[in-house]
C-alpha cells in the first residue's frame, strides 16, 4: 500500500556511483524509499550509463547496467517479501535492508546516509526524489534548447482548441520490474498514453542517449498486463545539423516491443483532430 490520505514517515537513501575512490567523485544514480508503517520498500535506478560517461569518460557500460538493474530488482524483491511476510519485523531499518543488497564498503556503488520525510503517496515520493537527486542532473547535462514541457505546449494548444486537453489525465503503467507515470492519457477500450519527448538538444550524443533511455523504458513496460498504446510527441532539433541524429533516434524508438506512434510537431493539429473524433465517438457509444 503506497497511498493514503494521512502522511506517514519514510526514510530514503540515494544510490551513488563512485568513479574514483581516491578523489571521492560520484554521481547520483538511484533512490530507495522505506516506510515501516506501510511495509513499503522500493527503489528506482538509472540503468543507462550515457550521463556517467559524459561526466567521467569511458566506463564498463555492461557492468554498470547489470549492477544498477540488479540493485533495483533486489531492493524491490525484498520489498515484496516484506509485504507478504507475517509477522512483519517492525524493528527493521533502511540501512540494514540495503546492506543485504549492497554491503557498505569502498566499491563503486554505495548508498548515502539515510534521510527522512513524510509522505501521503510513497510511489510519488519515490519518483519525486528520483527527479530531485538523479534526473535533475541528467537534464542539466543534456542542455536542451526546449525541454519536454515546452514541447508539450506545441501539442497542448490544438488539443485545447478541440476541447479535449481536459479529458487527459495521468496514468501509471506498471510492469513486473518497472513502472512509469504518463502525465497525459485517456481510455477508449485500451489506455492511450501520450508523452512529450524533446530532442531539441545541443548534441547528437544526447539525442541518441535519450532515445535509448526511452527504448529501455518501452522494453521494460512491454511486460505490463495493462493494455495500452504509447504515443510519443516529438520535439525536433532546432539545429539542422542534428537532423540525421533525430532520424536515428526515431529508428531507435521504433525498436520498442510495443510499437509506439511517433508524432511530429507538424502533425500536432491532425493529431488533436483525431483524438477529438475518437472522444466524440466514445461519448456517443
Is residue 250 domain-shared with residue 158, that is, in the same domain? yes
Domain presence at residue 2: no
Q: What is the pLDDT of residues 70-94, one digit of tens each?
A: 999 999 999 999 888 766 566 789 9
Domain presence at residue 129: yes
Q: What is the pLDDT of residue 51?
A: 73
Is residue 152 domain-shared with residue 280, that is, in the same domain? yes
Q: Domain range for residue 131?
A: 8-139
DSSP 206-266: HHHHHHHHHHHHHHHHTT-SS-EEEEEEEE--SSGGGHHHHHHHHHHHTTSSSPPEEE-GG
Domain presence at residue 127: yes
Choose between 107 and 154: higher pLDDT: 154
Is residue 71 domain-shared with residue 182, that is, in the same domain? no
Number of folded domains that form the chain: 2
Is residue 126 domain-shared with residue 223, that is, in the same domain? no
Task: Give yes or no for a contact between 33 and 12, defined as CB atoms under 8 angstroms apart.
Answer: yes
Is residue 79 domain-shared with residue 58, that is, in the same domain? yes
Choose between 106 and 73: higher pLDDT: 73
Q: What is the pLDDT of residues 128-160, one digit of tens each?
A: 999 999 887 664 445 557 888 899 999 999 999
Which pLDDT band, with edges at 50, 70 and 90, does 1 fall under? very low
State whether residue 105 is helix, strand or coil.
coil
| Region of 78 on the Ramachandran plot (φ > 0 left; ψ -120 to 50 alpha; else beta) | alpha
Q: What is the pLDDT of residue 107?
A: 85
CATH code for the domain of 229:
3.40.1350
- 3-state DSSP: the chain helix, strand, coil percent, rounded to 5? 45, 30, 25
Domain presence at residue 29: yes
Is residue 64 domain-shared with residue 85, that is, in the same domain? yes
Task: Give yes or no for a contact between 133 and 16, defined as CB atoms under 8 angstroms apart.
Answer: no
Q: What is the pLDDT of residues 45-71, one digit of tens each?
A: 987 777 787 777 677 877 888 999 999
Is residue 279 domain-shared with residue 167, that is, in the same domain? yes
First-residue to last-residue Cα distance in the chain = 35
**Cα gap 42→25, rounded to integer Å:** 26
Mean pLDDT confidence for 119-128: 94
Which of 76, 108, 139 terminates a domain? The answer is 139
Q: Which of 113-117, 138-142, 178-182 has the lowest mean pLDDT?
A: 138-142
Domain presence at residue 130: yes
Is residue 236 domain-shared with residue 123, that is, in the same domain? no
**Cα gap 209→211, rounded to integer Å:** 5
Is residue 38 domain-shared with residue 100, that is, in the same domain? yes
Q: What is the pLDDT of residues 213-227, one digit of tens each?
A: 999 999 999 999 999
Q: What is the pLDDT of residue 141?
A: 47
Domain presence at residue 254: yes
Q: Are strands 109-111 and 115-121 parallel, antiparallel or unpaired?
A: unpaired
pTM tops 0.75: no
DSSP 108-154: SEEEPPPEEEEEEEHHHHHHHHHIIIIIHHHHHHH--SS-HHHHHHH
Is residue 122 domain-shared with residue 154, that is, in the same domain? no
**Cα gap 250→243, rounded to integer Å:** 11
Amino acid at each position: 500500500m503506497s497511498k493514503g490520505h494521512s502522511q506517514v514517515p519514510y526514510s530514503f537513501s540515494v544510490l551513488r556511483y563512485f568513479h574514483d575512490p581516491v578523489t571521492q567523485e560520484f554521481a547520483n544514480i538511484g533512490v530507495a524509499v522505506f516506510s515501516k508503517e506501510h511495509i513499503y520498500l522500493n527503489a528506482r535506478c538509472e540503468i543507462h550509463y550515457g550521463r556517467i560517461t559524459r561526466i567521467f569518460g569511458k566506463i564498463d557500460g555492461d557492468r554498470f547496467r547489470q549492477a544498477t538493474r540488479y540493485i533495483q530488482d533486489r531492493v524491490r524483491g525484498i520489498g515484496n517479501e516484506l509485504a507478504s511476510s507475517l509477522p512483519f519485523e517492525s524493528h527493521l531499518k533502511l540501512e540494514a535492508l540495503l546492506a543485504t543488497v549492497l554491503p557498505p564498503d569502498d566499491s563503486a556503488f554505495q548508498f548515502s546516509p539515510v534521510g527522512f520525510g513524510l509522505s501521503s503517496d510513497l510511489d510519488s515520493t519515490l519518483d519525486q526524489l528520483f527527479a530531485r537527486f538523479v534526473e535533475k542532473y541528467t537534464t542539466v547535462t543534456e542542455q536542451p534548447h526546449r525541454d519536454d514541457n515546452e514541447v508539450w505546449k506545441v501539442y497542448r494548444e490544438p488539443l485545447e482548441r478541440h476541447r479535449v486537453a481536459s479529458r487527459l489525465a495521468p496514468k501509471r503503467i506498471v510492469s513486473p520490474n518497472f513502472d512509469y507515470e504518463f502525465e497525459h492519457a485517456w481510455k477508449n477500450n485500451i489506455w492511450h498514453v501520450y508523452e512529450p519527448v524533446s530532442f531539441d538538444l545541443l548534441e547528437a550524443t544526447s539525442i541518441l542517449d535519450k532515445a535509448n533511455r526511452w527504448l529501455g523504458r518501452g522494453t521494460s513496460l512491454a511486460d505490463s498486463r495493462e493494455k495500452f498504446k504509447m504515443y510519443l510527441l516529438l520535439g525536433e532539433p532546432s539545429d539542422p545539423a542534428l537532423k540525421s541524429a533525430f532520424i536515428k533516434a526515431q529508428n531507435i524508438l521504433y525498436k520498442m516491443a510495443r510499437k509506439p506512434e511517433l508524432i511530429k510537431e507538424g502533425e500536432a493539429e491532425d493529431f488533436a483532430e483525431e483524438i477529438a473524433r475518437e472522444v466524440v465517438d466514445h461519448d456517443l457509444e
